[in-house]
Structure 1
C-alpha cells in the first residue's frame, strides 16, 4: 500500500512540475505553428535550447533576470527568421526537414569545444551559475511548505517559487494566444492552414503571416527552454530529438488548434508517463533493469502517438472537422 501511494504521489507531483509547464509552453508555441498555421516544425527543441543558452549566458555575463529573458526571446526570434525566410515559400515538408536538422546543429554546436567557453561543451552550464537572479525575485519566505502530499522548499531550483513562476508564465501565454487567435490576424492564420491559395487570392501576404507565426511560436519555445532549465543545468543532450518528440505527443494528445489542449496534454502525458515508469520499476524491477524500463517506456510513448494519429488525430479537446492534417 505504501508503495502504491508513493507511485501516486510521484505522478501527482508531475502535474505541477516545472518541466511539465515547460513542455506545455513549448506545445503552445508549436500549436501556433502547426495547429493554427499548418507549419510542420520538427525542431522545437532547438528553440528551447537556444532560449536556455541565451538566458544562461546572459545571466552569467551579468544581465538581470528580465534582460536575460529578453535575450532568450531574441535568440528564438533570430533562429525563426533564419529558418523561415528561405523555407516558408516552399512546401511544409521542407520546413520539417530544415527545422529538425537545424535543431540538431544547435545541439552539436552546444556540445562543441569551439564554443565551450560560453556553452560549457557537452557538460553544459551548471545551474548555480545562472539561477541566482531568478531566486532573488522570490517573494516567498524561507523554509519548506507542504501542500497535501507534496512538499518542497519555498525558494530554490526544485521549489514552489519555480512552480509558481512556470505555471504563471503558461497562463500568460494562454491569454496571449487567446487574444491572438481571436483577432483578425489569427483568423488569417486559420485560413492559411485550410487553404493558403484562397488566402493569397484575397490579397494577403501568406509568407509574412507564416513568418510571424513561426517567430511568435519560436519565442514561446525559447521561453519554454528557460523554464525547463530553471530546476536543472543546461545540457545540450537533454534538449534533442526526444524533446521535440515529446512536445508533439503533448500537443496531439491534448488537441491541436485548441487553447487548453497543450496544457491538458502536458499534464496528462507526464503524470501518466511517471505512473507508468514508476509502476514498471516496482513491478518489473527484479526482471529488467532501469535502462530497459526507460526504453520500454519510450516504446510505449511511440505506440501511443501512433494510435493517437490513427484513431483520434484531433486529440482530447480538438475538433476533427476543424483540424486538417493535409498541411502544406
Structure 2
C-alpha cells in the first residue's frame, strides 16, 4: 500500500510540476503552428533551447528578469524568421524537414566549444548563475508549505513560487490564444489550415499570416524553454529531439486546434508517464534496472503517439470534423 501511495503522490506532484507547465506552454505555441495554421513544426525544442539560452545569457550578463524574458522571446522570434522566410512559400512537409534540422543545429551549436564562453558547451549553464533575479521577485514568505500530500519550499528552484509563476504564464498564454483565435485574424489562420488557395483567392497574404503564426508560436515555445530551466539548469542535450517528440504527444493527446488541449494533454501525459516509470521502478526495478525502465517508458510514449495518430488524431478534446491528419 505504501508503494501505491508513493507512486500516486509522485504522479500528482508531476501534474503541477514546472516541467509540465513548460511543455504545456510549448504545446500551446505548437498548437498555433499546427492546430490552427497547419504548419508542421518538428523543431519546437529549438525554440525552447534558444529561449532558455537567451534568458540565461542575458541574466548572467546582468539583465533584470523582465528584460531577460524579452531577450528569450526575441530569440524565438528571430529563429522563426530565419526558418520561415525561406520555407513558408513551400508546402508543409518542407517546413517539417527544415525545423527538425534547425533544432538539431541549435543543440549542436550549444554543445560546441565555439560558443562555450556564453553557452557553457556540453555542460551547459548552472542554474545558480541565472536564477537569482527570478527568485528575488517572489512575494511568498520563507519556509515550507504543504497542500494535501504535496509539500515544497516556498522559495527556491523546486518551489511553490516557481510553480505559481509557471502556471500563471500558461494561463496567460491560454487567454492570449483564446483572444487571437476568436479574432478575424484567427479565423483566417483556420482557413489557411483547411485550404490556403481559397484564402489566397480572397486576397489575403497567406505567407505573411503563416509567418505571424510561426513567430507567435515560436515566442511561446521560447517562454516554455525558460520555464523548463527555471527549476534546473540549461543543458543542450536535455532539449533535443525527445523534447519535440514529447511536445507533439502532449498536443495530440489533449487535442490540436483546441484551447485547453495542450494544458490537459501535458498534465495527463506527465501524470501517466510518472506513474508508469515509478510503478516499473518499484515493481521491476530489481529485474530491469533503472536504464531499461527509462527506455521502456520511451517506447510506451512512442506507441501511445502512434495509436493516437491512428485511432484518435483529434485528441481528447478535439473535433474530428475540424481536424484530422489527412487534412494536411
The interval holding the TM-score normalised by the smaller chain is over 0.9
Per the alignment, residue 3 of structure 1 pairs with 3
Per the alignment, residue 275 of structure 2 pairs with 275
Give a deviation string over 1:249-284, Cα, whole Å, max 9, x none: 000000000000000000000000000000001111
Give a deviation string over 1:191-235, Cα, whole Å, max 9, x none: 000000000000000000000000000000000000000000000
Per the alignment, residue 97 of structure 1 pairs with 97
1:246 matched to 2:262? The reply is: no
Per the alignment, residue 313 of structure 2 pairs with 313
The SS at the match of 1:270 is helix
Per the alignment, residue 322 of structure 1 pairs with 322
Which ranges in structure 2 are unaligned for 5 or more consecutive residues? Answer: none
Contact 1:46 1:240 in 2 (8 A): yes
Structure 2 CA distance for partners of 1:261 and 1:253, relative to 1, 3 Å: same
CA distance in 2, matches of 1:73, 1:121: 22
Which ranges in structure 1 are unaligned for 5 or more consecutive residues? Answer: none
| Cα deviation, residue 327, structure 1 | 5.2
Per the alignment, residue 299 of structure 2 pairs with 299
| Cα deviation, residue 325, structure 1 | 2.1
| Cα deviation, residue 287, structure 1 | 1.0
The SS at the match of 1:287 is helix
1:170 matched to 2:170? The reply is: yes
CA distance in 1, matches of 2:28, 2:262: 6
CA distance in 2, matches of 1:117, 1:326: 46
| Cα deviation, residue 285, structure 1 | 1.2
How large is the Cα RMSD of the aligned pairs? Answer: 0.6
TM normalised by structure 2 equals 0.99
Per the alignment, residue 190 of structure 1 pairs with 190
- Count of residue pairs the alignment pairs up: 328
Contact 2:13 2:150 in 1 (8 A): yes
Per the alignment, residue 127 of structure 1 pairs with 127
The SS at the match of 2:321 is coil
Per the alignment, residue 228 of structure 2 pairs with 228
Between stretches 42-51 and 280-289, larger displacement belongs to 280-289
TM normalised by structure 1 equals 0.99
CA distance in 2, matches of 1:14, 1:297: 15
The SS at the match of 2:75 is helix
| Cα deviation, residue 78, structure 1 | 0.2
Give a deviation string over 1:127-171, Cα, whole Å, max 9, x none: 000000000000000010000100000010000000000000000
Contact 2:11 2:271 in 1 (8 A): yes
CA distance in 1, matches of 2:166, 2:242: 21
Per the alignment, residue 82 of structure 1 pairs with 82
CA distance in 2, matches of 1:2, 1:299: 28
Per the alignment, residue 200 of structure 2 pairs with 200
